[in-house]
Amino acid sequence: MKETEVDTQAGWPAGEALNDLETEPLASAAERSPEAILKSIFREDRFFLVLSVFIGIFSGLAVVCFRFVIDWCRISLLGSGGVVSPLRLVLAPTLAGLAVAALVMHVFPTVRGSGVNQTKAALYIYNGYIPLRTALGKFITAALAIGSGQSLGPEDPSLQIGAGLASALGRRVALSRDRMRLIAPVGAAAGLAAAFNAPISAVLFVIEEVIGRWTAGILGSVVLSAVSSVVVMRWFLGSEPLFRIPTVHLEHPSELIAYVVLGIVGGLLSVAFASGIGVFRRITAEWSRWTRYLQPALAGLLIGLIAWFGAPQVMGAGYEYIDQAMHGQFTWQFLGILAGLKLLATTLSFVSGTPGGMFAPTLFIGAMLGASVGGAEHAFLPHLITSPGTYALVGMGVLFAGFLRAPMTSVFMVLEVSGNYSIIVPVIVANTIAYVISRSLQPTPIFDVLTRQDGLELPSMEELREEDVLRVEDAMRPAAHPVLDGEETVSRVFHRVNGHTPEVMLVRLKPGGWVTVTRKEIEKMAKEGKGAMSLRTLLSGRQIPFLHPDHPLEMALRYGDRWKLVPVVNRADFSKLEGVISQCDVLEKYRDLGEESN
C-alpha cells in the first residue's frame, strides 16, 4: 500500500503498476513474448525511451522511401529534363488528381489534409491509435500528388507517416494507455525531423503545437526519435541541408528597419493565406459529394495552367527554387509574383482535399516574399540591404510564425537551416511582428480552424498559452486568529479557545512546520491530563503540507479532501504565514470565474 502511494505522488497513473500485477496472469519464460521479456527487464518509462529509438529508425527509413517515391513520380509524370512540355504540365497534375481522388474516396478515406491535426487527434481522442492503413495511404497518395505537381509539401505527410508507424509499433508491444497516447507525437517528431533534416525544429514543433506540454520523459523520447530518424536519413541521403545557404549577416543596426517592414508584410500575407484556406475549404466542403472526385483534378488543372503560362516554380515543394531565390537568381518583381501564385496554388491544392502538407509551401512563399521585399528595399534604399539570401531566410521564418503560428519553432528553424546565429536578432524581430499581427487579425490559428471545420474540438495550444493561470494567491484568505504556537501548552491554549474560535486552527512548529488542530481535540487533550505538554510534543508527528502563493491553484485541490485547512507560506521563510486556503475557497474561486465568463 505504501508503494502505491509513492507511485501516485510521483505523477504516475494511480494504481497502474498494481493493476497490471493484479489483472495479468503470470506466465513462464517460455510462454512470454519477446516484448513481454523486454518490458520485464526495463521499467515502462525506460522501455519507452528504447522504443523511441526504433521508432526513429523505422520513421527515417519510411521518409527516405517517401522521398524516393516522390522523385520517381515527378520524373515519371513530368519528365527528367530541364524543360517540361506544356502538355505534361497540365495533364500530369490533372490526371494524378483523378487517381488521388479515387484512392481517397474508396481506399484511404482518412488521409485527407496535412496530417498534423490527425496526429493531434490521435493523442487527444483516439488514445494514440492511427491505423497503419492510414500511414500507407498517406505515403501513396501524397507521393503521387506532390510528384505530379500539386502545390503541397512532404513534411506534414512525413509527420503522419511517422506517427502511424509509431502507433502500430506501440500496439504491437502492448504499451499502457498513457504511453500509447504519447507514441503518435514521438513518431511525428521522427517523421518531421527526417523530412526537414532539422531535429531541433521537429522537436520544438511537436512539443509546441501537438503535445503542448513536456516532461523529462516526453522530451527524452521525442529527442531520441528525432535524432535517430535524422541519422538514418543522412545515412542514405547525405548530411547536406535542404538549401545552400549564402553568407548571411547583419552589417548595421539600421537594417532592422527593413526587417520590421518584412515582418509587417509577412504578417498581413499570413492572414490572407489562412483566411483564404479557411473560407474556401468551408465552401468546397458544402459541395455535393460527387464533386470530391473532381476537386483534386480541377486544382491540378489550374496549377498546370499557372505553370504553362510561365510559373512552373509553383509546382511541388519547390525547394530548388527557394535555393535559387537565396542566391539572387530572380528579380524582386518576379519573386513577388511567385509568392502570390504559390499562395493561390497551395490554397487550390489544400482545399480540394488532396493529401499533402503546408510546411514546404509556407517556406516557399516566405522565401519569395522575403527576397522580394529585400530586393525592393535595395532598389530604393541600397545602404540598408545586404544579400537576398538573408531576407529569404528571415522570410521563411516570418511566414512560418504568422501562418502556422509556431513562433519558437520558426526562430530555431531558421537558425538550424542556416547554421548562422548572427541573424538571430532580425529573425526574432521580424517573426515576432508577423506573429503579433497574425494573432491580432486572425484570432484562431489555421490548424484550429481546420479542426473545427472537421467537427472536432482539440486543445488549442495557442489559446492554452494565452489563458490566465489561476494561482493560490487568487483564492487564499487571511488566517483566522488565533494561529497557535507549537511551544504553547495545552492548558494555555485550552483557556484561550471558546465558542468564537474557528473549529480548525493552525499550529506553527519550529522551524517552519505546520499542523492543524480542532477545538474538540484541544478539549479532549485537556481532559486527559495533558495540559502541561506542548502542542509540538503532541502534534509534531502529523505535519501537513503547505503551499506558496505562486503555486497553481489546482495544487490546492490535491490537499483539500485530506486537510480542511492548508497554510500558504512565504518562500523565503516557511514560518511566515501569507494566508490559508481550503477546498471551499478553491471551488468558490472557480465558481466565480465561471459566472464571470457567462
Q: Which domains does the chain have, with CATH numbers?
A: 41-237 (1.10.3080.10), 253-461 (1.10.3080.10), 472-597 (3.10.580.10)
Specify the higher pLDDT residue, 590 or 282.
282
Reply yes or no on whether the pLDDT at 275 is more than 80.
Answer: yes
Reply yes or no on whether the pLDDT at 86 is more than 70.
Answer: yes
| Closest residue by Cα to residue 458 from 472, 471, 470, 444 | 444
Reply yes or no on whether the pLDDT at 205 is more than 70.
Answer: yes
Pull the grid cell for residue 412. Answer: 530555431
Lowest mean pLDDT among 201-210, 215-224, 587-596: 587-596
b (16+ CB within 10 A) / e for 123-141: bbeeebbbeeebbbbbbbb
Helix (H) or strand (E) holding 262, with range, is: helix 256-285
Most confident of 119-128, 186-195, 200-209, 323-332: 186-195
pLDDT for 277-322, tens place per residue? 999 999 998 999 999 999 999 999 999 999 999 899 999 998 889 9
Specify the higher pLDDT residue, 582 or 340.
340
Give the pLDDT of residue 11: 30
- The span from the CA of 243 to the CA of 399, in Å, is 17
Reduced to 3 states, what is the DSSP secondary structure of residue 174?
coil
The sheet with strand 513-518 has its strands ordered as 484-485, 504-509, 513-518
Q: Place 502 in a pLDDT band, splitting at 50, 70 and 90.
A: confident
Average pLDDT of the residues in 198-222: 86
Contact (CB, 8 A) for 163 and 182: no
Give the pLDDT of residue 38: 52
Residue percentage of the chain with pLDDT more than 70: 89
Average pLDDT of the residues in 496-503: 74
Reduced to 3 states, what is the DSSP secondary structure of residue 395?
helix
Residue type (1 letter), 454: D
Q: What is the phi/psi pair of residue 561, to 5°?
A: -85, -10
pLDDT for 101-147, tens place per residue? 999 999 999 898 888 988 999 888 888 899 999 999 999 999 999 99
Give the pLDDT of residue 386: 62
Lowest mean pLDDT among 172-186, 209-223, 568-582: 209-223
Specify the higher pLDDT residue, 408 or 12.
408
**Would you say how long the chain is, in residues?**
598
Average pLDDT of the residues in 533-555: 87
Lowest mean pLDDT among 246-260, 506-520, 533-547, 557-571: 246-260
Query: How many C-beta neighbours within 10 Å does residue 523 have?
Result: 13
Pull the grid cell for residue 150. Answer: 500539386
Reduced to 3 states, what is the DSSP secondary structure of residue 368?
helix
- The span from the CA of 231 to the CA of 57, in Å, is 8
Give the pLDDT of residue 231: 95
Residue percentage of the chain with pLDDT more than 90: 46
Scanning 27-85, the segments in alpha helix (DSSP H) are 34-41, 44-78
Q: Name the average pLDDT for the chain.
A: 85
Query: How many C-beta neighbours within 10 Å does residue 354 have?
Result: 31
- The span from the CA of 377 to the CA of 383, in Å, is 9
Lowest mean pLDDT among 11-20, 199-208, 232-241, 503-512: 11-20
Residue type (1 letter), 399: L
Q: How are beta strands 577-581 and 513-518 bridged, if at all?
A: unpaired
| Closest residue by Cα to residue 362 from 385, 342, 341 | 342
Angle at 537 between CA 531 and CA 543, to 5 degrees: 125
Q: Which residues is 534 bridged to in the sheet?
A: 489
Pull the grid cell for residue 73. Answer: 513520380
pLDDT for 30-63, tens place per residue? 455 555 555 554 567 788 889 999 999 999 999 9
Contact (CB, 8 A) for 228 and 63: no
Rounded alpha-carbon distances, angstroms, from residue 511 to 8, 514, 522, 563: 28, 9, 22, 21
Give the pLDDT of residue 544: 87
Reply yes or no on whether the pLDDT at 14 is more than 60.
Answer: no
Give the pLDDT of residue 543: 86
Residue type (1 letter), 99: A
| Closest residue by Cα to residue 79 from 141, 32, 23, 149 | 149
Give the pLDDT of residue 534: 87
Show contacts of 215-224: CB within 8 Å, 24+ apart.
215/11, 217/45, 217/48, 217/49, 218/182, 220/49, 220/52, 221/48, 221/49, 221/52, 221/182, 221/186, 222/52, 222/185, 222/186, 222/189, 223/189, 223/199, 224/49, 224/52, 224/53, 224/56
Specify the higher pLDDT residue, 43 or 221.
221
- The span from the CA of 572 to the CA of 555, in Å, is 20
| Closest residue by Cα to residue 312 from 359, 345, 285, 282 | 345
pLDDT for 138-172, tens place per residue? 999 999 999 999 999 999 999 999 999 999 999 99
Lowest mean pLDDT among 9-13, 385-389, 502-506: 9-13
Reduced to 3 states, what is the DSSP secondary structure of residue 106?
helix
The half-sphere exposure of 390 on its side-chain side, counting CA atoms within 13 A, is 25
- The span from the CA of 529 to the CA of 523, in Å, is 10
Q: Answer whether the bond into residue 511 is a cis peptide, omega within 30°.
A: yes
Give the pLDDT of residue 536: 85
CA-CA-CA-CA dihedral for 271, 276, 278, 283, to nearest 10: 160
Give the pLDDT of residue 66: 97
Specify the higher pLDDT residue, 5 or 405.
405
Give the pLDDT of residue 82: 65
pLDDT for 413-467, tens place per residue? 888 877 777 788 889 999 999 999 999 999 999 999 999 998 888 888 877 777 7
Contact (CB, 8 A) for 266 and 371: no
The half-sphere exposure of 8 on its side-chain side, counting CA atoms within 13 A, is 10
Contact (CB, 8 A) for 534 and 486: yes
Q: Place 361 in a pLDDT band, splitting at 50, 70 and 90.
A: very high
Specify the higher pLDDT residue, 198 or 399.
399
Give the pLDDT of residue 327: 83
CA-only gyration radius of the chain, Å: 30
Give the pLDDT of residue 106: 93
Specify the higher pLDDT residue, 258 or 96.
96
Average pLDDT of the residues in 22-30: 40
Give the pLDDT of residue 298: 96
Q: Is the dihedral of CA 544, 549, 555, 560 positive or negative?
A: positive
Contact (CB, 8 A) for 341 and 314: yes
Pull the grid cell for residue 595. Answer: 459566472
